[in-house]
Amino acid sequence: MSGYIGTKSVTLSTTSASVGGDSSVGGDSTVSGDLTVDTNTLYVDSTNNRVGIGTSSPVTKLQIKTQTNGNAAFQNSTSVTGGVKINAFNDAANSSVPFEIDGSSLQFNIAAVEKMRIDGSGNLLVGTTSVTSGRINTTYTASGGLYGHVITSDQASGYAEVFYTTSGQAGNIFTNGTATSYNTSSDYRLKEDVQPMTGASDRVLALNPVNFAWKADGSRVDGFLAHEAQAVVPEAITGTHNEVDDDGNPVYQGIDQSKLVPLLTAALKESIAKIEALEARVTALEGN
pLDDT in tens, 121-143: 888 888 888 887 778 888 877 66
Element (DSSP H or E) covering residue 269: helix 261-286
C-alpha 114/C-alpha 105 separation (Å) is 12
- My answer on whether 213 and 173 are in the same domain is no
The residue that leads in pLDDT, 80 or 242, is 242
pLDDT of residue 20: 59
Domain-located, residue 21: yes
For the chain, the distance separating the N- and C-terminal CA atoms, rounded to the nearest angstrom, is: 133
Quick check: is 78 in a domain? no
The predicted model gives 177-182 an average pLDDT of: 90
Confidence grade of residue 10 (pLDDT, cut at 50, 70, 90): low
For residue 5, the enclosing domain spans: 1-29
Handedness of CA 12, 18, 22, 26 (dihedral sign): negative
Residues 207 and 264 in one domain: yes
* pLDDT (0 to 100) of residue 25: 47
Condensed to tens digits (0 to 9), the pLDDT of residues 210-228 reads: 999 999 999 999 999 999 9
SS3 29: coil
If asked whether residues 166 and 232 sit together in one domain, one would say: no
Is residue 16 located within the same domain as residue 3?
yes
Q: Provide φ and ψ at 226, rounded to 5°.
A: -55, -45
Contacts of 230 (CB under 8 A, 6+ apart): 236, 237, 241, 253
**Total domains in the fold of the chain:** 4
> Do residue 182 and residue 241 come from a single domain?
no
Residue 166 lies in a domain: yes
In a domain, 151, yes or no: no
Question: Does 91 score more than 50 pLDDT?
Answer: no
Range from 16-30, 61-75, 170-184 that averages highest in pLDDT:
170-184
Specify the DSSP element, H or E, that contains 37.
strand 35-37
One domain, residues 204 and 282: yes
Report if residue 18 sits inside a domain.
yes
Same domain as 241, residue 175: no
Residue 183 exposed, middle or buried by CB count within 10 Å (0-12, 13-18, 19+): middle
Residue 237 predicted with pLDDT over 60: yes
pLDDT given for residue 209 in this prediction: 97
Question: Does residue 224 share a domain with residue 162?
Answer: no
Q: How far apart are CA 85 and CA 96, in angstroms?
A: 19
Asked whether residue 243 is domain-assigned, the answer is yes
pLDDT tens column, 38-70: 877 888 998 999 998 888 888 888 887 765 545
Q: Give the DSSP H/E element, type plus range, for residue 261.
A: helix 261-286
163 in any annotated domain: yes
pLDDT at 106: 80
In this prediction, residue 182 carries a pLDDT of: 93
DSSP 153-207: -SSSSEEEEEEEETTEEEEEEEE-SS-EEEEE---GGG--S-----SHHHHHHH-
On the CB side of 247, how many CA atoms lie within 13 Å of its CA? 1
Identify whether the C-beta of residue 46 lies closer than 8 Å to the C-beta of residue 34: yes
pLDDT at residue number 86: 44
Around Cβ 51, how many Cβ atoms within 10 Å? 16
Q: Provide mean pLDDT across the span 165-189.
A: 92
Q: CA–CA separation, 117 vs 138, rounded Å?
A: 11
Least confident of 28-32, 185-189, 206-210: 28-32
Res. 98: pLDDT tops 80:
no
Least confident range of 41-55, 94-108, 118-132, 177-191 = 94-108
Res 150: pLDDT: 83
pLDDT band per the 50, 70, 90 thresholds, residue 208: very high
What pLDDT sits at residue 201? Answer: 96
Nearest to 127 by CA among 110, 102, 144, 105: 110
pLDDT band at 273 (very low <50, low <70, confident <90, very high): very high
Query: Would residue 137 count as lying in a domain?
Result: no
Q: Are residues 236 and 173 in the same domain?
A: no
Instruction: Band the pLDDT of 4: cuts 50, 70, 90.
Output: low
pLDDT for 33 equals: 78
CA gap 255, 80 in Å, rounded: 51
> Is the domain of 22 the same as that of 49?
no
